[in-house]
Amino acid sequence: MVKSRTQKKFNKKLPTATLTDLTNVTTDYIKHWTNQEIGRLQREENKILCIPTKNGYRVGLYNLTVYPNKTCEVRDRNRELVHCFESKISAILFAIYTIKKNYWTADELLLWDREINKNYVDMLNLRRIIQEARKRKDYVIVDSRNARLEIAETKLDFARDKISKLHKTAKYYKVWE
């Protein structure tokens, strides 16, 4: 055993509640400072800042969270949910158009993405209903739901085509610059 150089031992331990409060205040301050600096850079540079994070991206003051099923959730500067987009590209373009104050195109992107989400859920639901009706051999329901399924698939294809055109237009005009 090695003999201690100091005779006095420090027995005083800080309470864990104090440590957690201190770290929470520190992290809140750092987050607030980061938001202020990103906002300042956004105004001064007049460019779109896209910063990768551990679970998505940070485009300006918008937080984008990318999930394994390829959907992307967009939250504004107050951490409020704006929309859950079908694709990462649509979410990034929405944030860029909103930052550049091109609200008409951002709203159009949001409209077509909502249409895609609605028709996709309808299509999945109708397929499930048709499958269960075939098991019960209720062919009246199968026939009526098949017509609705075709309409939902057509609307889904149309909305995906519109979104694709918006993506190509943004790529052509290089809106991120």
108-163 residue pLDDT tens: 999 999 999 999 999 999 999 999 999 999 999 999 999 999 999 999 999 999 99
**pTM for the predicted model, two decimal places:** 0.80
177 or 105: which carries more pLDDT confidence? 105
Mapped onto helix, strand or coil, the DSSP state of residue 62 is strand
pLDDT surpasses 90 at 38: no
CA-to-CA dists, residue 44 to 6, 16, 32, 37, angstroms:
55, 42, 18, 10
Q: CB count, 10 Å around CB of 3?
A: 5
Cβ-based neighbours of 129, under 8 Å, separated by 6 or more:
141, 145
Beta bridge partners of 83: 74
Digit-coded pLDDT (tens) for 5-18: 666 665 666 677 77
